[in-house]
Chains A and B, each alone.
Chain A
Amino acid sequence: MALAYVDTARRALDSDLFYSFRRSPATVAAAVVVLVYFFAAGLAPWIAPHNTYDVAILDLSNAFLPPAWTASGKAQFLLGTDDQGRDVLSTIMLGARVSLMVGFAAVLFAAVLGVTLGLVSGYVGGVVDAAIMRVADVMLSFPAILIALLIDGVARGVLPRDLHTRVSVYVLIFSIGLSTWVQYARTVRATTMVEKSKEYVQAARVIGLHPALIMLRHVLPNVLGPVLVIATIGLAIAVLTEATLSFLGVGVPPTQPSLGTLIRIGNNFLFSGEWWMTIVPGAALVVLVLSVNLLGDWLRDALNPKLR
């Protein structure tokens, strides 16, 4: 078995995909940046210089300190501090963690929902297809942010205040996911309709396999290529949407700030000269989204046989 894994690994390094990856310096750079983010965000609670969630160690006399390289900066706060004396570098690491978690969860939710509905829609066809696609059309005619705002607003209205604070992350994931599943559904539906007419699916039908099994075992593995591309670009969009919502104040609670929340907090002090509080998290967000987008673009081109 171990040998099989070595074999698979060697084949992966030999593959066209890896070759096109190595050939593009921008993609390699983007991949490194994304890995650094994942590493920093994933291990933030252990490697961040300060625990900014712990109110007890916050010292308001450290508030509004500029980055360490400026005249009045302190070495222990590399990128300065915010209005409550929290270390900006640490809040960014922890914020990126929240942003990425929300992004990943939203992408996963949207992908599972979209792929399932797309598969069923494309495979079953007829009235089921028409119904699902009309719902998708309606969803598509609203901007994603608007849908997310709407759902968040409803959640705020329905849930008690303290409960809402606790579940606000999930509401955020749900609303971002619900506003982006249409892309997955449409793509998967189209690919499914192509695959469905191929003879290997008919061979499975001749055997009398249950339609659900045919969709799961035969069609699904053959429609996942484009989904991977959409999911990668979708991660960037989800992180951005989350940041936008948090910036507008309907995202995660300020006690567990995401990158968007940090930018919003910093925005209040931008004109009083404390630029680092909003510029640094903003730059962090831009670099993350740009890198993920570059990766997605590369993946789209690499998996597209027409561009080879």
Chain B
Amino acid sequence: MADAGGAVPLLRVGGLKRYFDVSAPLLNRVLERQPRLTLRAVDGVDFAIGRGETFSIVGESGCGKSTVARLIVGLYRPTGGSIAFDGVDMARLRTRRELAQVRRRQQMIFQDPYASLNPRWRVRDIIAEPIRAFRLIDGNAAILERVGELLRHVGLAPADGEKYPHEFSGGQRQRISIARALASKPEFLVCDEPTSALDVSVQAQILNLMKDLQREFKLTYLFISHNLAVVYHISDKVAVMYLGRIAEVAPTRTLFSRPRHPYTRMLLDTIPDLDMTGRQRTPVAGEVPNPINPPSGCSFHPRCPFAADRCRAERPEPIPLADGALVACHGVEEGRLPEDVRPLKAVS
């Protein structure tokens, strides 16, 4: 994957895997002769995120995009593969001190602003927690001053720090969540569907705030979403995930104007748009298969209108294309798929 200037990317993920054991309890397995079941939530994912970039992962529910986010911030341990942050392999970090140094530089914004703030804590204590945990500032007065500054950054008043989370609306809570994430002066923010629980009008406010903060603090974002309009608005690069694997990675404009992978095309077709009223759409056929028992070959073949025999037998690997896109599709590789060029304004 081409990185800007050939420098070390801030985050590089290679062959990342996470399997979950979803077997029945031992006794049931023995009595009912059930086999062990593994759910391959993430099954070999590669990507790199350059400094200052916004990298988005889109996909339907259950495609493993949130699992990728959780693996990166260390909420889950990978089953396989590597995560390198700023050139440092996360798996090599053994001591708490080494881990803390990396963790200070990466923070996470969560999906549900009603669950991500401890209801028993005052807002100032919630925001100050990373500062206290990493011992960034000494003295209570200095910490409170910093909390006030953070609240101003996200468009709240320093006096709001005295309140409890239930006194705020969803959008305001998400601002508090962002302030907490910024408290340790991170360089990298993992945002797991940060706007999907908010009203549409508030979504735009939060997205614009995130863009402003990115400019101001030179932040790098990993943005997880299922909302293509949001992704188009905020990303530099987009990865489309399907059943634990990446189907296509491309710069945002390329992905939205020349989608290669049949799955990407299908997703883009779902965006409602007045200009495309007359256009023949490929309906979203079928549902995401069960990741416990994924289809053979390319996992998308049961839903793909272009599926051939090879797709049913052989798993496609990502292939780099001339304009910087990476596509895992036999049809694209063989050049047997029709071109699909769309006007960009369709999504904005």
- Give me the interface of A with B, judged by CB distance under 8 Å: 198-200, 202-209, 218, 221-222
Contact = CB atoms under 8 A, between A and B. Distances in A.
B180 A203 contact: yes
A296 to B, nearest CB: 23
A206 B120 contact: no
B120 A222 contact: yes
B103 A207 contact: yes
B184 to A, nearest CB: 8
B133 A202 contact: no
Interface stretch (B110-118, B224-232, B305-313): B110-118
13 contacts: A200-B116, A202-B70, A202-B108, A202-B110, A207-B103, A207-B130, A207-B134, A208-B74, A208-B99, A208-B103, A208-B133, A221-B118, A221-B120
Given A202-B75, A202-B110, A203-B180, A209 B133 contact: yes
Contacts of B177: 203
B133 A206 contact: no
A202 B107 CA distance: 11
A203 B120 contact: no
Contacts of A198: 115-116
A204 B129 contact: yes
A-B pairs, 10 with minimum CB distance: A199-B116, A199-B110, A221-B120, A200-B118, A208-B103, A198-B115, A199-B115, A206-B108, A207-B133, A206-B73
A147 to B, nearest CB: 28
B119 interface: yes
Interface of B: 70, 73-75, 96, 99-100, 103, 107-108, 110-112, 115-120, 129-130, 133-134, 177, 180, 184
Contact of B100 (A200, A203, A204, A208): A208
B251 to A, nearest CB: 29
A204 B112 CA distance: 15
A198 to B, nearest CB: 5
A222 B111 CA distance: 20
Nearest to A218: B118
B71 to A, nearest CB: 12
B118 A208 contact: no
A208 B129 contact: no
A209 B103 CA distance: 10
Contacts of B100: 208
Given A204-B129, A207-B134, 10 more contacts: A198-B116, A200-B118, A202-B108, A202-B116, A206-B73, A206-B108, A207-B133, A208-B96, A209-B129, A221-B118
Nearest to A213: B133
A203 B177 CA distance: 9
A283 B111 CA distance: 57
Contacts of B115: 198-200
Most chain A CB inside 10 Å of its own CB: which residue of B99, B130, B180, B184: B130
B173 to A, nearest CB: 11
